[in-house]
Amino acid sequence: MTARPAHGLNWTSIRAIYKFEMARTLRTLGQSILSPVITTVLYFVVFGGAIGGRIESVEGIAYGSFIVPGLVMLTLLQQAINNAAFGIYFPKFIGTIYELLSAPINFLEIVIGYVGAAATKALGVAVIILVTATFFVELTVMHPVAMLAFLVLTALSFSLLGFILGIWARNFEQLTLVPLLVVTPLVFLGGAFYSIDMLPEGWARITYFNPVLYLISGFRWSFFGVADVAPWISLIAVAGFLAACMGVVWWIFRTGWRIKP
Amino acid sequence: MADIIEIRGLEKTYDDGFEALKGVDLTIREGEILALLGPNGAGKTTLISAVCGLVTPTGGQVTVGGHDILSDYRAARSLIGLVPQEITIEPFEKVIDTVRFSRGLFGRPRDEVHIERVLRALSLWEKRNNRNTELSGGMKRRILIAKALAHEPKVLFLDEPTAGVDVTLRREMWELVRRLREEGVTIILTTHYIEEAEQMADRIGVIDKGRLLLVEETARLMHKLGRKELVVEIAEPLATVPPALAAHGVTLSDDGCRLIYTFDATAERTGMTRLMADIAEAGLHLRDLSTRQSSLEEVFLRLVDEGAGAMDAAQ
């Protein structure tokens, strides 16, 4: 009746989860889109307009334009992590996770449903931010395919990270703590608003350990053709991060960690 | 009747060392209503959770419709619907979308006719476009049942379906369960209410401390374990039980007007003839006689006590 091949994915179930998550997003459309847009506009006014006017161009790019890729990445990371973390934490919190666990689906299908929806929403917001940016600064994209690849890979890998966070979190405090204490500093110190050449030697070296640097650098390269690190290194870094997150998710899947006693 | 669920040596020890299930064997027949009775913490919910995939068993084997719940979980779980004990429901979703989601999650194609049938059967059709939070507790519980029925399961698990539910709703719930059974759905329910098990179940399983003490046809269990009470109403109140009657174990009601004699209805000799002779000899005048079957509650308490006693003896 409903028996399916043992291998191969159950797309009906995945679609159900994806649609359910997207419906949740659409219900809260105002807060999910309005707040990132307002935040970004503020960044443009403060950094691009007020401060940017006194800053010389960075590597030949007007400062207002220079910060766009970093801002988009900042929002993309935050959105991806928050959406995915909340998406899986909420059923755990209110108890509806019983239905996911009792359904004839495997963990991979749960992950695809939740992470897919979180990444979709994060990408949507990122595109809106980009469009908003064009109202303030001049923007050209030199490598559109690479730009898209960076966007999608980043959205996916940080949605996975958010999913892991949502599984790990035991309360709302833990859920908001990681994005606040780890992700935001990493983005700010990853060259969202500056080139690492502008940092003193020692700090610049430390920055190379920051994974977000590679994201922003690669993403910025796809716009302007200039980067702190070679774009292929950035791509490897993003792919490596994605693989690491998949590894952790696979381990959670094997052990049922924090979801299944 | 064919068997639909086979549970063999099912064990569950939680990480903190708590042994919730200590080797449970249970065969559930297709189309029956089986009630699992037991005190809090007996292992009822863990048993259901292990079969439904919420908890990973630490030992034993379970098949549903011949499919192993671990190696062939897709086929096994497709057959099962689960209604949890707690009312856990997505608060901001519409009723009908919640139920549609459940059907999709279980891999079944869209079927609006079936969704409507389920919602109507549970008197939720009028409320289908309401948000879940807007509904009463009883309605939320019915949404949970609708969700569990959305994918047309062959087996329905109801974990304490009538806990904290008013009398009217409880009757409705019983009615619904009977209707489902008529449609061929196998139903396993856990309950604290002995009356519920007695009224509804074809068979009753008694669980305590992670062990299944027995599984028996409801009627036979009542017959086998049911004690009967003989109540003798006398014309003149008594201050104490006459010595000849006290030897039978007869007790006196508080007002001194009734003598109560408990006996095993299935025993060859109930001792009633001797008792009646002794009552006549004591010169008591009778006003009325009645016998009463002890309730399942009493039966159950006795079983649990005996189970504990047997285990103490083993240690």
For chain B, what are the domain ranges? 3-223, 227-293
pLDDT for B50: 95
In a domain, A113, yes or no: yes
Kindly determine whether residue A4 and residue B53, on different chains, have CB atoms separated by under 8 Å: no
**Rounded CA gap, B36 and B27, in Å?**
13
Short-list B135, B162, B157, CA closest to B62: B157
> Looking at the complex, does the CB of residue B147 fall below 8 Å from at least one CB of chain A?
yes
> Looking at the complex, does the CB of residue A102 fall below 8 Å from at least one CB of chain B?
yes
Q: Which amino acid is at B40?
A: N
Q: Name which residue leads in pLDDT, A26 or B296.
A: A26
The answer for residues whose C-beta is within 8 angstroms of residue B262's C-beta and 6 or more apart is B227, B228, B229, B230, B249, B294
The interface residues of chain A toward chain B in range 103-162, judged by CB-CB distance below 8 A, are 103-105
> Looking at the complex, does the CB of residue A26 fall below 8 Å from at least one CB of chain B?
no
- B213 CB burial (10 A radius; 0-12, 13-18, 19+): buried
Which CATH number applies to B227-293: 1.10.10.10, 3.30.70.1560, 3.20.20.80, 3.40.50.720? 3.30.70.1560
Kindly determine whether residue A104 and residue B108, on different chains, have CB atoms separated by under 8 Å: no
> Residue A102: its chain B contacts at CB < 8 A?
52-54, 77, 80, 82
The answer for residues whose C-beta is within 8 angstroms of residue A15's C-beta and 6 or more apart is A113, B104
What band does B226 get if pLDDT is binned at 50, 70 and 90? Answer: low
Kindly determine whether residue B105 and residue A16, on different chains, have CB atoms separated by under 8 Å: yes
Q: Name which residue leads in pLDDT, A34 or B203.
A: B203
**Rounded CA gap, B167 and A79, in Å?**
48
**Rounded CA gap, A144 and A227, in Å?**
15
In a domain, A7, yes or no: no
pLDDT for B176: 87
Compute, in degrees rounded to 10, the torsion defined by CA atoms A236, A242, A243, A245: 150
Short-list B199, B220, B197, CA closest to B207: B197
Hey, what are A80's tokens? 């991806």
- A8 CB burial (10 A radius; 0-12, 13-18, 19+): exposed
pLDDT for B225: 66
The one-character DSSP state at A49 is I
Per-range mean pLDDT, top range of B23-32, B129-138, B242-251:
B23-32
> Looking at the complex, does the CB of residue B132 fall below 8 Å from at least one CB of chain A?
no
> Residue B90: its chain A contacts at CB < 8 A?
94, 96
Query: Tokens 């008591």 map to which residue?
Result: B284
Q: Which of A1, A13, A23 sits opposite B105 (nearest CB)?
A: A13
> Looking at the complex, does the CB of residue B54 fall below 8 Å from at least one CB of chain A?
yes
**A19 to chain B: closest CA residue:** B101
Q: Which of B74, B75, B82 sits opposite A102 (nearest CB)?
A: B82
Residue B103 confidence (pLDDT) above 50? yes
Please count the residue pairs, one from chain A and one from chain B, whose beta carbons lie less than 8 angstroms apart: 92
Q: Which of A10, A96, A98 sits opposite B54 (nearest CB)?
A: A98
> Residue B56: its chain A contacts at CB < 8 A?
256, 260-261
Kindly determine whether residue A105 and residue B107, on different chains, have CB atoms separated by under 8 Å: yes
Q: How many CB atoms lie within 10 A of CB A166?
A: 26
**Looking at CA atoms only, how far is residue A15 from chain B in angstroms?**
8
pLDDT digits (tens, 9 = 90+) for B135-187: 988 889 899 999 999 999 999 999 988 877 778 888 888 888 999 999 999 99
Fold of B3-223: Rossmann fold (3.40.50)
Q: Provide the domain limits for residue A217.
A: 13-19+26-255
- When divided into structural domains, chain A yields a total of 1
In a domain, A88, yes or no: yes
**A261 to chain B: closest CA residue:** B55
**A13 to chain B: closest CA residue:** B105
**Rounded CA gap, B173 and A172, in Å?**
36
Compute, in degrees rounded to 10, the torsion defined by CA atoms A85, A86, A87, A89: 80
pLDDT digits (tens, 9 = 90+) for B39-95: 888 899 999 999 999 999 999 999 999 999 999 999 999 999 999 998 899 888 999
Kindly determine whether residue A2 and residue B107, on different chains, have CB atoms separated by under 8 Å: yes
pLDDT digits (tens, 9 = 90+) for B230-289: 899 988 888 888 888 888 888 888 888 899 888 877 677 888 888 888 888 888 888 899
Strands of B119-184, DSSP E: 155-159
In a domain, A112, yes or no: yes
Query: What b-and-e string marks burial along A22-35, b requiring 16 or more CB atoms within 10 Å of the CB?
Result: bbbbeeeeeebbee
Kindly determine whether residue B54 and residue A260, on different chains, have CB atoms separated by under 8 Å: yes
Q: Encode chain A (261 residues) as per-residue pLDDT tens digits.
A: 444 444 588 999 999 999 999 998 888 777 777 888 888 888 888 877 777 777 777 777 888 888 888 889 988 998 999 999 999 999 999 999 999 999 999 888 999 999 999 999 999 999 998 988 888 888 888 999 999 999 999 999 999 999 999 999 999 898 888 888 888 888 888 888 888 878 888 888 888 888 888 888 999 999 998 888 888 999 898 899 899 999 999 898 888 787 777
> Residue B103: its chain A contacts at CB < 8 A?
16
> Looking at the complex, does the CB of residue A94 fall below 8 Å from at least one CB of chain B?
yes
Kindly determine whether residue A19 and residue B104, on different chains, have CB atoms separated by under 8 Å: yes
In a domain, A162, yes or no: yes
Kindly determine whether residue A96 and residue B88, on different chains, have CB atoms separated by under 8 Å: yes
Kindly determine whether residue A16 and residue B104, on different chains, have CB atoms separated by under 8 Å: yes
pLDDT for B297: 65
